Structure 1
Amino acid sequence: MKFKNLSIFMILLIVIVFFSYSAINGVNIGNFKIEPVKNSVKQGLDLKGGVFVVYEAQTNETGQELNKILDQTIEVFRKRIDSMGVSEPVIVKEGEKRIRIELPGVKDAKEAIDTIGKTAQLKFMKEDGTVVVTGKEVKKSEVVFDKRTNQPIVSLEFNSKGAKKFAEATRELAPTHSPIVIILDNEVISSPRVNDEIPDGHATISGNFTVESASELANLIRAGALPVEFKEVQTSTVTATLGVNALNKSIQGAVIGIALVMLYMLIYYRLPGFVADIALISYILIIMYTYVQMKITLTLPGIAALILSVGMAVDANVIIFERIKEELKNGKSLRASIDAGFSKALGTIMDSNITTFIAGAVLFNFGTGPIKGFSITLMIGILASLFTAIVITKTLLKSLVHANIVRNKKFFGA
């Protein structure tokens, strides 16, 4: 029994040490590879430097129609940004009528903004380069379901002028089943073949679509026909030097703060403090690897939330250890005190963390940009702190006590 509990403690300790080393230096053993966390975590605009711009739709549309306009415009922006080769862009709605774009690592702000903000150019062309219709003549583009196959397709409707041109082109192309090439911003987005003449201005594009891919194509076509103007209302450039300095200072502050917390826990709570420090390291590892796996973008507010959640993680341990000390002073044994301490502290810990989690969820729902980054880190931190306090701390502490390595209550600060 003694060996079993000691083995549990040592295995957990070895796992934590291994992942701590991997997070700092990375591991490469044959086909097994773990990148250092600093190389894997996506950095936000405030850390990496770059450009952000906010556009506002100049329209009186509201509700679902406004959301359609914003969604299709976001698709066009995303296509343009992808063609620029920008990695990890952020394109999100902001407020009711605005779209916020963050481009980490971009140095030429003017070129990037000119590329993003230009008017969408949509053309339906023959293979020989003859323009059939343009975006101005597209009246409607939406996803519908084929009545025969129940598969998603894209339905198009042209205005009277466009319908006439399209009828002439399809009459010519139908006998040879030649394609009409759909081009947006000089990039081919689709090239459906013409099977029949389309005389009434109502066409459909079918293929191996999913609902998502059909929606994307419909959005892109609508955006090319979009009559709504988007006005640039805010632009800012963050230099890479400023971002690096901010990151270094934030990390330095975090290391100092965490080190002081760990030292305090060790001095005041002794053996439980030592266990809490191990659990705190595992907590930080969980946060970092969660960021990597979920591809969350790390920002300065996110780092602030991480440091704040470290305090909350320790707070859970403090509540537990104080309960254990009370039980020891009442004359209970170490094992009974630990069980009672965790049991009695659980309700208080859950109440405090749930209320903070609700606040984080509200911030995420109503916030934008950096506020969302703060709230995501806060909520992940709360879940991780509950796990480390209730599972890891308890397992490590009980393993040491059950292995009969420590019997003196003075090691528990009692």
Structure 2
Amino acid sequence: MLHIALWKRILIWGLVACGLLFAMPNAFYSRVETHNDAVAQIAKSGATPELIAAEGAWPDWAPNTLVNLGLDLRGGAHLLAEVQVADVYQSRMDALWPEVRDALRDVRDQVGTVRRTESAPGTLAVRISKPEGMQRALELVRGLASPVVSLTGAGSEDLVVSGNGDTITVGLSEAERTATDSRTMQQSVEIIRRRVDEVGTREPTIQRQGEDRILIEVPGLGSAAELKALIGTTAQLTFNTVEGRTTDANTRPGPGEALLPAADEPGTFYLIDTTPVVSGEELTDAQPSFDQNGRPAVNFRFNPSGARKFGDYTAAHIGSPFAIVLDNEVISAPVIQSHIPGGSGIITGRFTVEESTNLAVLLRAGALPAKMTFLEERTIGPQLGQDSIDAGRIACIVAFVAVLAFMQLAYGLFGFFANLALLINVGLMFGLLSIIGGTLTLPGIAGIVLTIGMAVDANVLIFERIREELKTAKGPARAIELGYERALSAIVDANITTFIIAVILFVLGSGPVRGFSITLGLGIITSVFTAIYVTRVMIVTWFERRRPKTIEV
């Protein structure tokens, strides 16, 4: 018998109402976006009359989630960066030098004095004064090697050690270089993502391309230069021992030393030990603040390992200066007045409030493991995005009108029910995109247009089946019931195969392909729901009220 239980009707219309409610903010995009930005700014810096007025642009009780617009629709910044992965090799060698020095000092009677000498990039060269102890020295240095942590390098060691005369040369093995490259790229992508997320941008695209390149696209950002300023700074913070201070820019540093300029004292240079006492990688937090004189500064805190090293160093070097180095520039070189336990401190300098805030953001996000070279940069203006939106809107309207006209002419009243369900279907798609925080791109609009065309397929199958059943079934009620029952398997089969394709595109694709697959997959879900349940509720409700003796499909 043609009947739908009351609880099922309530559930169906409840889901429809919920989906349309979440889709509603997209019809008032500018107002809702203004409201959301004001709420975020109030939470960050406090309320002002302007922000309160902007917050009132949209009621607090209504949903305020929006479908994010991609770079091709909203405009924004596009960068293609190349990561200088070879820089990490030298950092590894610099960090290894103290271990090599300490290991050889324990057998000084056999190898003599130990000194670091000039070496090729990415290698460490150590000279011993007793060449006859070379075999013993090589044995000790090789003992510092560790297994390579990667699937492809299983069974290999990370160091290659060789000796020639009185010089030991240490470098990374080929397997370790491959594993290091992979880790460096993965870390760079994650750090860039954290830095971009810190400034509240919407749905950035950050993904690895090839061996050593990263694609960065941030919708809504003013220019590529602004994006470069945000992520181009490596923000490599280290705390180093000060070996000397000079005003001579031509001073030649010794092995393991570097001559760096002072940020707040033009013409002053510090000679520092390149092996850091503590690095920015051991920071757990950094917040903008003010020093005791009311000048902008940055408070920082180390993790337990960094706190221990920082405390031990300050306890052993009271009265000596130490350098706070940011991106190869000494931003501060205070004299250690007392032991600093707890692993927290403050960075002072000639900062503005904005500079201290940006520095804190960069330090919280972490240091990029290597420098980046920007190979390609583009600023996509909002006018281009608006043209794309207008073109997509026209395509959707044309597809919509064509489908509505066809269904109305082909199926009459039942076509009207299908058209109403199609309108609901599109609303549900935008509701789901808003709920999941999806991003709409030009390929995504193509997916919506395709969904509009496919959405009526299920209704066509059902209505054609009802037509056939009217010739044999006893009465219109039975024909409608059998039409839905017997068309169900064909509808499910057809949509499941298309949904599988959408999932494959999402998993294996990237960028535009994913945008298309998301809208296609969501469109399939909403199409099946509206065709099988929403149109059925409409038809059953109409049939119960009119009780027609015959029907025409």
Using the size of structure 1 for normalisation, the TM-score is 0.71
* Alignment CA distance shift 1:327-1:98 (3 Å): farther
Give me the whole-angstrom Cα distance separating, in 2, the residues matched to 1:155 and 1:355.
Answer: 53
How much does 1:381 deviate?
A: 0.8
Say which of 339, 347, 351 aligns to 2:493.
351
Distance in 2 (alpha carbons) for counterparts of 1:377 and 1:135: 52
In 2, are the aligned partners of 1:327 and 1:337 still within 8 Å (CA)? Answer: yes
1:366 maps to 508
Indicate the residue corresponding to 1:187 in structure 2.
360
Following superposition, the deviation at residue 374 of structure 1 comes to 0.8
Match of 1:55 in 2: 81
Aligned-partner SS, 1:118: coil
Q: 1:357 to 1:188 in 2, by over 3 A?
A: closer
How far is the alpha carbon of 1:169 from its aligned partner?
2.6
Segment of structure 1 superposing worse, 41-50 or 94-103: 94-103
Amino acid at match of 1:186: L
3-state SS of paired residue (1:392): helix
| Whole-angstrom distance in 1 between the partners of 2:411 and 2:544 | 19
Of Structure 1 and Structure 2, the greater helix share is in 1
11-20 or 104-113, which deviates more: 11-20
Contact kept in structure 1, 2:418 and 2:459, CA below 8 Å: yes
Give the conservation status (yes or no) of the 8 Å contact 2:239–2:278: no
- Whether 1:108 and 2:223 are equivalent positions in the alignment is yes
* Cα distance, 1:113 vs structure 2: 2.3
Q: Distance in 2 between matches of 1:15 and 1:79?
A: 36
The aligned amino acid for 2:75 is: G
- For 1:78, give the aligned amino acid: R
- Checking the alignment, whether the CA contact within 8 Å between 1:123 and 1:132 is kept in structure 2 is no
Displacement after TM superposition at 1:230 (Å): 3.6
Task: Provide the rounded CA distance (Å) in 1 between the counterparts of 2:19 and 2:185.
Answer: 47
Instruction: Name the counterpart of 2:386.
Output: 244
Distance 1:16 1:294 in 2: 14
Is 1:69 aligned with 2:184?
yes
CA displacement at 1:167 relative to structure 2: 3.9
For structure 1, which runs of at least 5 residues remain unmatched after alignment? 143-152, 191-216
Deviations 1:77-106 (A, max 9, x none): 234435656444332344564432112222
Q: Percent identity?
A: 32
Q: State the aligned residue count.
A: 358
Inter-partner Cα distance in structure 2 for 1:140 and 1:106: 28
Q: CA offset at residue 56 of structure 1?
A: 3.8
Alignment check: 8 A CA contact 1:182 1:189 kept = no
State the alpha-carbon separation in 1 of the partners of residues 271 and 196 from structure 2. 26
Q: Deviations over 1:209-267 (max 9, x none)?
A: xxxxxxxx7xx55x44x2x4444344333221111011012112201211220121011
Counterparts of 1:372 and 1:46, CA distance in 2: 14
Alpha-carbon shift at residue 135 of structure 1 (Å): 9.0
Q: Secondary structure at the match of 2:403?
A: helix
Q: Whose radius of gyration is greater, 1 or 2?
A: 2
Give yes or no for the alignment of 1:299 onto 2:441: yes
Aligned to 1:312: 454
Q: Could you list the runs of 5+ residues in structure 2 that have no partner in the other structure?
A: 33-56, 86-173, 242-263, 265-269, 283-301, 319-335, 348-355
C-alpha separation in 2, matches of 1:81 and 1:405: 61
For residues 21 and 235 of structure 1, do their structure 2 counterparts lie closer, same or farther at Cα, with a shift above 3 Å needed? closer
SS at match of 1:187: helix
Distance 1:187 1:268, change over 3 A: same
**Which structure has the higher relative contact order (CA within 8 Å, separation 6+)?**
1
* CA–CA separation in structure 1 for the residues paired with 2:273 and 2:489: 67
Q: Which residue of 2 is the match for residue 168 of structure 1?
A: 313
What is the correspondence of 1:323-362 to structure 2 with a 5 Å cutoff?
323-362=465-504
Check conservation: 2:304, 2:343, Cα contact below 8 A: no
| Counterpart code for 1:109 | A
What corresponds to 2:267 in structure 1? none
Match of 1:290 in 2: 432
Q: Which residue pairs with 2:351 in the alignment?
A: none
Q: Quote how far apart the aligned CAs of 1:157 are.
A: 8.3
CA separation of 1:17/1:267 partners in 2, compared to 1, >3 Å: closer, same or farther?
A: farther
Tell me the amino acid that sits aligned with residue 422 of structure 2: L
Question: Which of 384, 390, 414 is residue 526 of structure 2 equivalent to?
Answer: 384
RMSD after superposition: 4.4
TM-score, normalising length: structure 2 = 0.55
For residue 345 of structure 1, report the CA deviation from its aligned partner: 1.1
Q: Secondary structure at the match of 1:235?
A: strand
The question of whether the paired residues in 2 share the 8 Å contact of 1:91 and 1:99 is answered with yes
Match among 177, 186, 189 for residue 341 of structure 2 = 177
After superposition, what is the alpha-carbon deviation per residue over 1:129-163, rounded to whole angstroms, capped at 9, x for unaligned? 99999896779969xxxxxxxxxx967589xxx97
- Matched residue, 1:41: 67
Shift of 1:338: 1.4
Separation (CA, whole Å) in 2 of partners of 1:189 and 1:235: 21
Residues 266 and 274, structure 1, Cα contact 8 Å, conserved in 2: yes
Bigger shift: 308-317 or 324-333?
324-333
Task: Give per-residue Cα distances to partners, 1:304-349, cap 9 Å, x unaligned.
Answer: 1011011111111111111111111224421111111111111111
SS of aligned partner of 1:409? coil
Change (3 A) 1:30 1:243: closer
- 2:442 partner letter: L
Q: Distance in 1 between matches of 2:489 and 2:505?
A: 25
